[in-house]
Amino acid sequence: MNNIIAQIIALWKEEDTLLDIESHLNLWFQGWNEWIMKYAIERMDKELYYHYKQEGWKIDRIEQRTVQFQFGQVTYYRRRLKKAGERSFLALDKALGLEKYKRHSPHVKAAMAQLGAQMPYRQAEKALKLSGSVRASHTTIHQATQEVGEKVEQYLRQYSYSSSNQKSRKVKAIFIEGDGVVIKGRESKSPVIHRIVIHEGVNREKKRHTLINPMVFSSVESSQDAFKQAAHYLNQVYNLKDTIVVTNSDGGSGYEADKFESMVGYSKQHEHFRDLFHVHKKIKERLSFDKPMAKQVEKAIYQYDWDRIETLCATIESRLIDLPEVIIEDRLEQIRKLKNYLSRNWVYIKPFKKRELSIDRGTGVGETGHRLYTYRMKRQGRSWTKKGASHVVAILTAEKNGLLQTALTAEITDKVESLGEEIKGAVRQALKKIDSTAQTIQTGSIVNYGPKSSFIGQLALSFS
């Protein structure tokens, strides 16, 4: 220990600025981490060999492998085992859950995928460099994001939201909103992110309002697929017999009221709403030539007064009398389309206070929920294939629902569990306290990013 402290102090004295000191110390500690991990991994391989040796396995050859872990890049040697009538294999790689030909550990791969889902791949590459110990190109990060995203997507589709001994939840109200957002595509048809969000209301106790028990379901395949996932969740988690179900959408293709009705099934009461954000957007779009009257129409919507709507439409038409005939015809057509739109959706525009409901609010989060995806997947010249977008959406959705870590560890756990208790016992044996009297061979190495004459270079030589 004193020798290590002396080396740190010597390194500290050799540098002029704190920036250089910290940079070199980071490399110094990284070198130690890599050497210690190399020693531990090779000891584990030795313990595994002793286990298999008793079953008749012999050493075929010694193979080298380099793996990028979160704490650094480790190059180690392990035994390939063979047995008559059996296929040779690397016991250590199986025990660690390392895939063939992969240079990154599951943890690093997961970190690259999370960064790749949150930011452009080149920015993710820079973020990894700032972490100090991990190096990966933007193409490697892209590949990791797609691989992890595919596995997360498969996991979410088979995930069980309730256990056998868990009773279905009974709540006063459930809110369900659905919408889609188009992103730029590389194929003939642009991908659409279909989203369904389910929650139990809004918590207004804090300054920033939050949803109660929210769960998001997404699909780039179709709105039908998103509804299927949401229905699966509802059936597993909730008993809607005594629940008021409030649904909300913009009424676009795939998000009509009957789609929500089919998903909800039996409930105490189901009320469908037309999303006011889209209603107001439609009013402003159709009446862009008369903004004062557009505001009057919005007020009539709040009052839920159809007679007032008709009167306002007539007034708007009368204000066009002095305009050229061509312009009048076009604006009359806009007024007609707006009136038809409001008429078709009038029953769904009816506000909470006008309905027989014991709740007065809770919808309106569908549009803001798009930000989770649009911040990453829209603008800045980005374009997506349907498959690529689906994988990124799966990672973002799993992270939003708090299931990303579960999905990632489940993949790793499956690999370790398949080895059986005997192999895991051998791994645990390797992790026991090392006997200080045991004879060991010094085979460590430290990565040196500077000249051999530097302090870190001299340290690397001492382990070579």
pLDDT in tens, 221-234: 999 999 999 999 99
What is the average pLDDT value for the chain, to the nearest integer? 82
Tell me the C-alpha distance between 214 and 420, whole Å. Answer: 38
For the chain, which residues make up each domain, given as ranges? 2-139+404-463, 173-386+395-400
Higher-confidence residue of 55 and 359: namely 55
- What contacts 24+ positions apart, CB below 8 Å, involve 86-90? 86/57, 88/60, 90/63
pLDDT in tens, 82-126: 999 899 999 888 888 788 888 888 888 888 999 999 899 999 999
State percent of the chain over pLDDT 90. 35
pLDDT in tens, 25-68: 777 777 778 888 888 889 989 988 988 898 899 999 999 999 88
Tell me the C-alpha distance between 221 and 225, whole Å. Answer: 7
pLDDT value, residue 202: 82
One-character DSSP codes across 361-417: -----TTGGGHHHHHHHSSTT--B-HHHHHHHHHHHHHHHTT-HHHHHHHHHHHHHH
pTM of the model: 0.77
Give the CA dihedral 436, 79, 447, 416, nearest 10 degrees: -90
pLDDT in tens, 79-89: 999 999 899 99
Sign of the dihedral defined by the CA atoms of residues 153, 157, 160, 161, in that order: positive
Beta strands (DSSP E) in 41-172 are: 58-69, 72-83, 86-90
Q: How confident is the model at residue 442 (pLDDT cuts 50, 70, 90)?
A: very low
